[in-house]
Chain A
Amino acid sequence: MNIIVCLKQVPDTESQIKIGSDGVSIVTDDVKWVMNPYDEFGVEEALRLKEKHGGEVTVVGLGPKRVTESIRTALAMGADKGILVTDDALEGSDALATAKAIAAAIKDLEADVIFAGQRGVDDDQGLVGAAVAELLGIPQLSLIVKVEVAEDGKTVKVERPIEGEALVIESSLPALITVQKGLNEPRYASLPGIMKAKKKPLDEKSLGDLGLDAAEFGAGARKLKILELTPPPARVAGKMVEGDTPQEKAAELAKLLHDEAKVL
């Protein structure tokens, strides 16, 4: 099986987010960059599919050179090779443009299954996976927690939890699967894995290499314009509920929730 994993690098979820002086971007000086947490589930599932069905796992990342580190992490977990789509002209691209570049990097790889995280935990859009699937003309299966590829490798059965239900969906392959927590427990890279990863192939592709026109990418070509970033609406620390015993505090809290907050 030919398995692709799309990879994004994002600020660690422990990061404080500070807005830059331009008002439309974040300050990245102190940011610790990590593989998007949802993509880790994709890497793990790809490795499990390979272990069961054979084949090759290719990790496709997009972004500046620092993304190489996250691709190497995936290679250290066991992926076979990496592709980094990197070009100064990509800086500031929106989801549609990003998907076009990723789809261009994937289209000739004859993928059977493509994994992507259900969303990047930075922009929280969750658009790129679906757009890559659309551009490649293949089905998308979103927010999946279980993946079973048929023995013949022609179909896949997946499970998608929705509000109050779980759907079991069958799709033809190739397909793009976006993954979420609950699918698996991603493995850690072993020391030998880390050593081996250094020798695994990692190709860089520019927009020109992919036959794409740089003018269609970057902040200037965005169809979704960011007008302004602001800190979240401030929540003023409220009342500390007083009382000499837990019972007194509980009684006071219940009273406040009923009389003042009116939520009981």
Chain B
Amino acid sequence: MAQGVWTIAEQRDGAIRKITYEIVSEGRRLADALGQDLTVILLGSNVKDKAAELGQYGADKVLVCDDPKLEPYTTDAYVAAISGLVKDGDPAVLLVGASVEGKDLSSRLAAKLDVAMAQDCTAFAIEDGNLIAIRPIYAGKAYAKVAFENSFPQMGSARPKVMELNEPDASKSAEVVDAEFTLDDGDLKTKVLDVVKDESGKVDLTEADKIVSGGRGMKGPENYKILEDLADLIGASVGASRSAVDAGWRPHSDQVGQTGKVVSPNLYVACGISGAIQHLAGMSTSKVIVAINKDEDAPIFQKADYGVVGDLFDVVPALTEEVKKYL
């Protein structure tokens, strides 16, 4: 019978990514609820020295797949390595992070294992010994509670920044095991030719702790400077509504909403965004929402924790000055 909770770690250039700690923390809670062990799979090249520390967040065991072909990530190589381990290990639950890489990996892995998958979940629980997942659908206009029907491992991915992090316990360390796996060159059909780093240092919206976002009320691309000034000061990333992106004011990668990114920052400041339903869908899991808009009837105020009726061109620069007092 399928037993144990497994998670797949995500690392880049040998550094463990934060989403990994989030799913290891959540995996620990699920393993405790089942009374079973938590195993993490860590893949890459020369990553073994990063394995034991995953115990600080709750991993009992780390299976390490160390191979130059596993760096950088490719779907082919990761799925080939992991699918064999999962078939042999037969875990009850398999959790991944719903990052770009995690979604790519888990969607293919689920198909390869011929099991059901719940993507981009915001909560997990164990009920009667089985995994239950909560996942937003229609970009959060509704939430689905789902379960798995004779489908093991029960696979889910966790939306970044939603799962609570365990307090790392420096006294703990995971058992590190070299995993046995084979990578057949014939199976590796894709190759990463180049990695282009974003030198701006901007944190991707899906992982940002704070977001300052501008919509049609910004009136033009040149005015985003006032949002960037505020964002730089408080360590936020700048986002945009669809109308701002469609107008060509901001790049596509900045779009928040149903056809853009779904975000869950601690603070979301919506400036000159009326709150079209497809935008609200993309940011309503933010913890604190601030709306600055001159139209007091704008729908965004219905979702905002703090609303300011006023001209953003006056309020935002004033806010930038005021927050300096608290930094």
The 8 Å CB contact of B259, one of A13, A167, A224, is A13
Query: With a CB–CB cut-off of 8 A, which chain A residues contact B111?
Result: 96, 99, 127, 130-131, 133-135
The reply to whether B118 and A224 form a contact with Cβ atoms under 8 Å apart is: yes
Closest 6 CB pairs of A and B: A250-B318, A182-B252, A130-B107, A246-B314, A223-B116, A238-B305
B309 nearest CB across to chain A (Å): 7
Do A169 and B190 contact each other (CB < 8 Å), given the known contacts A225-B147, A235-B289? yes
Is the CB of B183 closer than 8 A to any CB of chain A? Answer: no
Interface string of B126-166 (1 = CB under 8 A from A): 00000010011111111111111111000000000000000
How many of A's residues come within 8 Å of B, CB to CB?
84
The reply to whether B318 and A14 form a contact with Cβ atoms under 8 Å apart is: no
The reply to whether A251 and B149 form a contact with Cβ atoms under 8 Å apart is: no
A153 nearest CB across to chain B (Å): 16
The reply to whether A241 and B307 form a contact with Cβ atoms under 8 Å apart is: yes
Do A163 and B204 contact each other (CB < 8 Å), given the known contacts A225-B146, A263-B210? yes
22 A-B pairs with C-beta separation under 8 A: A17-B138, A124-B139, A127-B110, A130-B108, A133-B111, A134-B112, A140-B75, A142-B107, A143-B100, A167-B194, A168-B195, A168-B196, A224-B148, A225-B148, A226-B144, A229-B143, A235-B305, A237-B301, A238-B289, A246-B315, A249-B315, A258-B323
Is the CB of B325 closer than 8 A to any CB of chain A? Answer: yes
Is the CB of A227 closer than 8 A to any CB of chain B? Answer: yes
When C-beta atoms are compared, the residue in chain A nearest to B307 turns out to be A240
| Consensus secondary structure, chain A interface | mixed
A226 to B321, CA, bound (A): 49
Q: List residues of B whose CB falls within 8 A of some A CB.
A: 12, 72, 74-76, 99-101, 103-104, 107-108, 110-112, 114-120, 132, 135-151, 189-198, 202-204, 206-207, 210, 234, 245, 251-253, 255, 258-260, 266-267, 276-278, 281, 284, 287-290, 301-311, 314-315, 318-319, 321-323, 325-327
Q: How many A-B Cβ pairs are below 8 Å?
A: 277
The reply to whether A232 and B136 form a contact with Cβ atoms under 8 Å apart is: yes
Query: With a CB–CB cut-off of 8 A, which chain A residues contact B138?
Result: 11, 15, 17, 26, 121-122, 124
The 8 Å CB contact of A263, one of B118, B120, B259, B267, is B267
Do A131 and B318 contact each other (CB < 8 Å), given the known contacts A17-B141, A124-B138? no
The 8 Å CB contact of B197, one of A26, A134, A165, A240, is A165
Do A254 and B323 contact each other (CB < 8 Å), given the known contacts A227-B132, A241-B308? yes
Query: With a CB–CB cut-off of 8 A, which chain B residues contact A69?
Result: none
Do A224 and B151 contact each other (CB < 8 Å), given the known contacts A17-B138, A232-B284, A261-B288? yes
Do A228 and B258 contact each other (CB < 8 Å), given the known contacts A122-B137, A126-B107, A127-B119? no
Query: With a CB–CB cut-off of 8 A, which chain A residues contact B287?
Result: 263
Q: Which of A110-160 contact B (CB under 8 A)?
A: 121-127, 129-131, 133-135, 138-143, 145, 157, 160
Is the CB of A21 closer than 8 A to any CB of chain B? Answer: no
The reply to whether A249 and B288 form a contact with Cβ atoms under 8 Å apart is: no
The 8 Å CB contact of B142, one of A19, A163, A181, A253, is A19
Query: With a CB–CB cut-off of 8 A, which chain B residues contact A140?
Result: 75, 104, 107-108
Q: Which of A76-129 contact B (CB under 8 A)?
A: 94-96, 99, 121-127, 129
The reply to whether A257 and B117 form a contact with Cβ atoms under 8 Å apart is: no
The reply to whether A247 and B318 form a contact with Cβ atoms under 8 Å apart is: yes
B303 nearest CB across to chain A (Å): 5
Query: With a CB–CB cut-off of 8 A, which chain A residues contact B120?
Result: 124-126
The reply to whether A164 and B193 form a contact with Cβ atoms under 8 Å apart is: no
Query: With a CB–CB cut-off of 8 A, which chain A residues contact B252?
Result: 145, 180-182
The reply to whether B198 and A258 form a contact with Cβ atoms under 8 Å apart is: no
The reply to whether A157 and B310 form a contact with Cβ atoms under 8 Å apart is: no
Is the CB of A211 closer than 8 A to any CB of chain B? Answer: no
A257 to B46, CA, bound (A): 43
When C-beta atoms are compared, the residue in chain B nearest to A246 turns out to be B314
Query: With a CB–CB cut-off of 8 A, which chain B residues contact A261?
Result: 267, 288, 305-306
The reply to whether B207 and A163 form a contact with Cβ atoms under 8 Å apart is: yes
B10 nearest CB across to chain A (Å): 10
Query: With a CB–CB cut-off of 8 A, which chain B residues contact A170?
Result: 190-191, 193
When C-beta atoms are compared, the residue in chain A nearest to B120 turns out to be A124
Query: With a CB–CB cut-off of 8 A, which chain B residues contact A181?
Result: 245, 252, 255, 259-260
A182 to B111, CA, bound (A): 27
Do A232 and B140 contact each other (CB < 8 Å), given the known contacts A124-B120, A167-B72, A240-B307? yes
B141, B290, B323: residue with the most chain A Cβ atoms closer than 10 Å: B141
Is the CB of A161 closer than 8 A to any CB of chain B? Answer: yes
A164 to B99, CA, bound (A): 12
